[in-house]
Amino acid sequence: MIECYNDWVIHCLVQPNTTLVSRDIAQEILGDNHDVYFPFNVKQGGRPPYVYVFDHRPVYSRIPDWTGVVHAMDVGFVFGAPFKNIQDPFVNMMAMKYSEIEKGLSLYIMKLWTDFAKYG
């Protein structure tokens, strides 16, 4: 595992202590906890972790820009939301409509997940 370290004390000294800086720090810490340590713990249990990074933010996202790409933002793409109206409040919260490029991305994501299910 690659160790990731950020000296939060220096980070706070370089930037003034504002609500936005505090929010960003909390977001980084919580993201690291979920995205880095969970796969590490799975590996410690003797099973190989399978991880991918989804860093596309839907063009018509309803989530505030400051959040970036949030956990599970890929769910709509996995289940083909750009092609049909999925009646799920969680999926609709992420984006109500999708661009043409995102239709292609959805096809690609569905293919990746299908191939992983077939071949491991």
Residues 56-115 pLDDT 10s: 999 888 888 878 888 888 988 999 988 887 777 767 777 778 899 999 999 999 999 999
**In sequence order, what are the beta bridge partners of 81?**
none
- Every domain of the chain and the residues it spans: 8-44, 65-119
C-alpha distance from residue 113 to each of 23, 29, 59, 98, 118 (Å): 33, 28, 22, 20, 9
For residues 24 and 7, is the Cβ–Cβ distance under 8 A? no
Secondary structure class of 39 (helix, strand, coil): helix
Structure tokens at 40: 């590490």
Comparison of pLDDT for 5 and 20, the residue scoring more: 20
On average, the pLDDT of the chain sits at 76
Comparison of pLDDT for 53 and 58, the residue scoring more: 58
d(CA 55, CA 77): 12
Residue 104's pLDDT is 96
Among positive and negative, which fits the CA dihedral 80, 86, 88, 93? Answer: positive
